[in-house]
Amino acid sequence: GLKVVVIGGGSSYTPELIDGFIRRAAELPVAEICLVDILAGQHKLDIVADLARRMVARAGVDSKITTTMDRAAALQGADFVVTQFRVGGLAARARDERFPLQYGVLGQETTGPGGFAKALRTIPVILDICRDMTKLCPEAWLINFTNPAGLITESVQKYTKVKCLGLCNVPIHMKMTIAKLLDADANDVFIDFAGLNHLVWGRKVWHRGIDVTTSVLEKMQDGAALTMKNIPDLKWDGDFLRSLGMVPCPYHRYYYMTDSILAEEQAAATAGGAGTRAEIVQAVEESLFKLYQNPELAEKPAELEKRGGAYYSDAAVSLISAIYNDKREIHTVNTVNQGAISGLPINCVIETNCVISKNGAMPLTVGTLPPEIAGLVQQVKAYEMLAVEAGVHGDSNKALQALANHPLIPSVKVAKQLLADLLSLNAAYLPQF
């Protein structure tokens, strides 16, 4: 059977992942799921591992659940490595979400300066993991869930030899939500996705061979907001959707409704407000871990739906199964462009539909993006490429250029202030600087 290593195993999402492996146990023989964490996460890790053991036992699946703080030992003999760690924890995320607000800039986990700070903290760790993998399990697949997932995957693709796919639940979440909107079976819905992570569009939606894009857009403007738990469900502008003719992802609100969403964030972050998303998640996590400790609980609890990661397990485990079983199915993943989107560098990472087999991902041709979306994609990709260089080499020139080129940052002056702040706030996690 397979050995699956989960780095950041103490995550409250782990029961979600275990649920996915249980559901697909018949097609994916997993002998061992090894949960890896760091000392600071050991308490969470133990709780999650006990729940995971109860889950597989109840389901009658004989996968062994093991835990360790010794990453190298875990990677020995691994077939699949799933990364879902958070350097600096939710406290660092809360800082990412707050520090830009004083400059009138959006504070978000993956988008804008917050996402940049998270990338800088994460890149040294992911490169370290890849060094270990190259030595200890060179044939293993890395399924990277750690955010900012596209940018982190690009760092791995450009600077290591590890076989890697980046994964996000946004595409599958859009598919499931749109299927509900259409009152259709999700298996009958096909979405032609293309773009970047957290900047992906459904260029066309098909239902049993019929192009239903227009009716999806109409339903969205009728109030079906198409959002996720972690994003304010601001209503889409009907004229805008009609003129765009494509389905934006929930994260597009940060670009298309920047002023409204910033106002919401600023209100939430003031004393007496609901707090930033990280602060809300800290409370959700606390109650989840209370539930997880209940010895009667042997399945993923419904409360997990309060997190933004719905359908994560479906995306992850079906992807792993498609590789292992050489299925040649279409999945939406973050992978090297290879010319699929013309006009973007061939070696950059995009989020797009790919044929998945034992050999990995073959992106389907997208061609030239229309001007409605091409500019934004180019600009965000330029930011991401600069951020990768900054994060890998600890290069503050590239860091300043990354921020100055980000479409949500208004001036060089603000970019410099943001950079100074984030370098000092995160100094403990930035060995490369």
The reply to whether 429 sits near ligand NAD by the rule CB under 6 A is no
Tell me the closest approach of the beta carbon of residue 157 to ligand G6P, in angstroms.
19
Q: Should residue 426 be labelled a site residue for ligand NAD when binding is judged by CB under 6 A?
A: no
- 156 binds ligand NAD per the rule CB under 6 A: no
Distance CA 13, CA 257 (A): 29
Regarding 226 and contact with ligand G6P (CB under 6 A), the answer is no
- Would you name the residues annotated as active-site residues? 251
Of 15, 308, 363, 391, the one binding ligand G6P by CB under 6 A: 308
Among the listed residues 52, 164, 170, 344, the single contact to ligand G6P using CB under 6 A: 170
Question: Cβ of residue 231: shortest distance to ligand G6P, in angstroms?
Answer: 8
Instruction: Give the residue nearest to ligand G6P (CB).
Output: 308
* Closest approach of ligand G6P to the CB of residue 171, in Å: 9
Please list the helix, strand and coil fractions of the chain in percent, rounded to the nearest 5, in that order. 50, 15, 35
Tell which positions 283-322 bind ligand NAD, by CB under 6 A.
Answer: 308-309, 312
Q: How far apart are CA 238 and CA 266, in angstroms?
A: 26
Which 146-205 positions form the footprint of Mn ion (CB under 5 A)?
168
**CA 9 to chain CA mean position, Å:** 16
Name the residue number minimizing CB distance to Mn ion: 168
The Cα–Cα gap between 382 and 345 comes to 10
Binding ligand NAD (rule: CB under 6 A), the pick from 41, 107, 113, 115 is 41
Residue 230 contacts which entry, ligand NAD, ligand G6P, Mn ion, none (Cβ below 5-8 A, type-dependent)? ligand G6P
Question: What are the φ and ψ backbone dihedral angles of 130, each rounded to 5 degrees?
Answer: -65, -35
Stretch that binds ligand NAD, among 34-42, 205-213, 233-241, 388-396 (CB under 6 A): 34-42
Please pick, from the candidates 52, 81, 105, 228, the single residue that binds ligand G6P as defined by CB under 6 A: 228
> Least CB distance from residue 148 to ligand NAD, whole Å?
8
Contact 335, 363 (CB under 8 A): yes
165 lies in the site for ligand G6P, by CB under 6 A = no
Beta carbon nearer to ligand NAD, 147 or 337: 147
The correct pick among 24, 163, 277, 381 for binding ligand G6P (CB under 6 A) is 277
The continuous run of DSSP H or E covering 210 comes out as: strand 210-211
**Amino acid present at 215:** S
Residue 135: CB atoms within 10 A of its CB come to: 11
Write down the residue that tokens 């603000």 correspond to. 414
Q: Which is nearer to ligand NAD, 144 or 213 (CB)?
A: 144
Of 103 and 292, the one with the shorter C-beta distance to ligand NAD is: 292
Distance between CA atoms of residues 289 and 367, nearest Å: 46
Examine residue 313 and tell whether it contacts ligand G6P (CB under 6 A). Answer: no
Q: What is the dihedral of CA 50, 288, 74, 56, to 10 degrees?
A: 40
Number of residues in contact with ligand G6P under rule CB under 6 A: 14
Q: How far apart are CA 6 and CA 9, in angstroms?
A: 5
Angle at 15 between CA 79 and CA 141, to 5 degrees: 20
What are the start-end ranges of the E strands in 69-144? 80-83, 141-144
Cβ pair 398, 389 in contact under 8 A: yes
- What's the longest Cα–Cα distance across the chain? 59
Angle at 429 between CA 3 and CA 40, to 5 degrees: 55
Work out which of 21, 80, 85, 201 binds ligand NAD, going by CB under 6 A. 85
Give the C-alpha separation, 174 to 332, whole Å.
11
With residue 5 as reference, give the H or E element that holds it: strand 2-7
Element (H, E) at 132: helix 113-136
**CB nearest ligand NAD: which residue?**
41
Strands 2-7 and 80-83: parallel
Site for ligand NAD in 3-22 (CB under 6 A): 7-8, 10-13
Residue type, 36: V
Report in angstroms how near the CB of residue 18 gets to ligand NAD at its nearest: 14
Q: Which stretch binds ligand NAD (CB under 6 A): 40-48, 99-107, 249-257, 403-411?
A: 40-48
Binding ligand NAD (rule: CB under 6 A), the pick from 74, 127, 168, 322 is: 168
Give 365's DSSP letter.
P
- Verify binding: residue 125, ligand NAD, rule CB under 6 A: yes
Count of residues engaged in binding Mn ion, rule: CB under 5 A: 1
Cβ proximity of 207 and 186 under 8 Å: no
Q: Residue numbers of the site for ligand NAD (CB under 6 A)?
A: 7-8, 10-13, 36-38, 40-41, 44, 84-87, 89-90, 125, 145-147, 149, 167-169, 308-309, 312
Q: Residue numbers of the site for Mn ion (CB under 5 A)?
A: 168
Q: Residue numbers of the site for ligand G6P (CB under 6 A)?
A: 109-110, 147, 168-170, 228-230, 277, 281, 307-309
